[in-house]
């Protein structure tokens, strides 16, 4: 991609304002690209991540500056959740969690890896674009702001965000923090789980606002099935639903300090509910305050993992047993004298470990003597 060199800052200044518009065209060589004019384009040349839309190039024509993005063939998440074409298959649970995990990874990059950190400020379903195999990428950085650095705790700015996704403290004070993005992510995650819109004027009362409708339901686990999108038809893991709702509930807390600092780890855990790794199960349970429920096999695997022991499969165990029997004979044909000697050695060892009165040693010696006499 080319650079604007000395014109870069001038271009940013001239674009000034907000919002952007896009059109799709076929580029050189037949590839389809998105051409979009955006504000605050400086950071676009600095941000590179698999879950952020790629900036392919630019075009300058008079006072116009156009940015050329990669084309995301499946459109936006908003289209798939809220406005699918007739007969189009709805997103299944695994695909929804994959998209949520991708959005969390993109947000983590902006908050933790970008230097200085970037506050996205416009996280919503229409800005989550989907490529082949539903690979997710964040797009449209027109409202993005450089985050607080040094001793600063927030960035003061004019409130500009889509209604329904705006963190309450930002709406009231104009103080923008990384936790403002976390709140918006929680709203998006609720949309993914429920299939509802953040703000739906076609509904009445509290149901118009997704967060206000969901909050009372978070308190009763028996009502979780009422939160899930009916179009899923119950095709989701119950524990996966519980974990995803736990993450969403944490993210939309009214107090910023109650929200998680990072979204990627818990969301990835919820998306990976079918993972059989024992330690992952334990960590997820501890994170959400759930009791740790492990099968007997899981407990054996955990002990083996803790002490670095390689666990054998049931088939391998059977093979080992057959090999021992063929080498030493079955228990019914074992030598009686050898059996008595083994018992004597066991008794002698037990006596030296914990009994100082010598009785066990004497008994062991007597057993050994009897065994020798019989021989």
* In a domain? residue 284: no
- Asked if the model's pLDDT at residue 52 lies above 70, the reply is yes
What is the pairing mode between strands 118-119 and 32-37?
unpaired
Taking phi over 0 as left and psi of -120 to 50 as alpha, with beta for the rest, 111 belongs to alpha
174 lies in the same domain as 63? no
* In a domain? residue 196: yes
* In a domain? residue 296: no
Which SS3 state, helix, strand or coil, does residue 273 take? Answer: coil
240 lies in the same domain as 364? no
Select from 274, 304, 329 the last residue of a domain.
274
66 lies in the same domain as 93? no
What pLDDT, on a 0 to 100 scale, did the predictor assign at position 343? 77
182 lies in the same domain as 248? yes
What CATH number did the domain enclosing 60 receive? 3.30.200.20
Least trusted range by pLDDT, from 98-102, 118-122, 162-166, 277-281? 277-281
* In a domain? residue 261: yes
66 lies in the same domain as 81? no
Taking phi over 0 as left and psi of -120 to 50 as alpha, with beta for the rest, 133 belongs to left
Rounded to two decimals, the pTM is 0.64
Confidence of residue 18 (pLDDT cuts 50, 70, 90): very low
What pLDDT, on a 0 to 100 scale, did the predictor assign at position 174? 87
Q: Collect all residues with Cβ–Cβ distance below 8 Å to 175 and sequence separation of at least 6.
A: 154, 155, 156, 169
89 lies in the same domain as 125? yes
Catalytic residues: 122
264 lies in the same domain as 360? no
123 lies in the same domain as 239? yes
Confidence of residue 350 (pLDDT cuts 50, 70, 90): low
* In a domain? residue 129: yes
* In a domain? residue 280: no
Select from 24, 45, 70 the last residue of a domain.
70
177 lies in the same domain as 234? yes
250 lies in the same domain as 359? no
pLDDT digits (tens, 9 = 90+) for 320-340: 777 777 766 554 455 666 777
Domain that holds residue 318: 314-374
* In a domain? residue 282: no
Domain total of the chain = 3
Which SS3 state, helix, strand or coil, does residue 259 take? Answer: coil
């Amino acid at each position: 991609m080319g650079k604007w060199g000395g014109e870069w800052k001038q271009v940013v200044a001239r674009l000034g304002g907000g919002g952007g518009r896009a059109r799709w065209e076929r580029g050189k060589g037949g590839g389809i690209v998105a051409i979009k004019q955006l504000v605050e384009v400086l950071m676009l040349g600095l941000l590179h991540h698999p879950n952020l839309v790629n900036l392919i190039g630019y075009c300058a024509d008079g006072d116009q500056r156009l940015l050329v993005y990669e084309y995301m063939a499946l459109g936006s998440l908003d289209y798939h959740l809220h406005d699918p074409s007739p007969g189009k298959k709805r997103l299944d649970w695994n695909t929804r969690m994959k998209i949520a995990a991708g959005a969390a990874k993109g947000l983590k990059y902006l908050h933790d890896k970008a230097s200085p950190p970037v506050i996205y400020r416009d996280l919503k379903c229409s800005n989550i674009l989907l490529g082949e195999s539903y690979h997710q990428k964040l797009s449209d950085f027109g409202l993005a702001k450089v985050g607080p650095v040094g001793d600063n705790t927030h960035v003061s700015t004019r409130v500009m965000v889509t209604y329904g996704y705006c963190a309450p403290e930002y709406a009231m004070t104009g103080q923008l923090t990384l936790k403002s993005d976390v709140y918006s992510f929680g709203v998006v995650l609720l949309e993914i789980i429920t299939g509802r819109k953040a703000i739906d004027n076609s509904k009445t009362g509290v149901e118009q606002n997704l967060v206000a409708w969901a909050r009372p339901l978070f308190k009763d686990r028996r009502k979780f099935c009422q939160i899930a999108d009916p179009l899923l038809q119950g095709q989701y893991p119950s524990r996966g639903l519980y974990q995803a709702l736990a993450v969403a509930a944490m993210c939309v807390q009214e107090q910023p300090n109650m929200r998680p600092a990072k979204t990627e780890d818990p969301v990835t855990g919820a998306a990976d509910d079918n993972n059989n790794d024992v330690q992952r199960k334990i960590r997820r349970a501890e994170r959400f305050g759930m009791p740790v429920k492990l099968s007997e096999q899981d407990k054996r695997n955990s002990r083996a993992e803790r002490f670095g022991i390689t666990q054998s499969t049931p088939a391998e165990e059977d093979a080992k047993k057959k090999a021992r029997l063929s080498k030493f004979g079955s228990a019914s044909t074992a030598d009686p004298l050898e059996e008595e000697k083994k018992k004597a050695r066991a008794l002698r060892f037990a006596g030296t470990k914990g009994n100082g009165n010598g009785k066990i040693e004497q008994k062991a010696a007597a057993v050994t003597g009897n065994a020798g006499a019989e021989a």
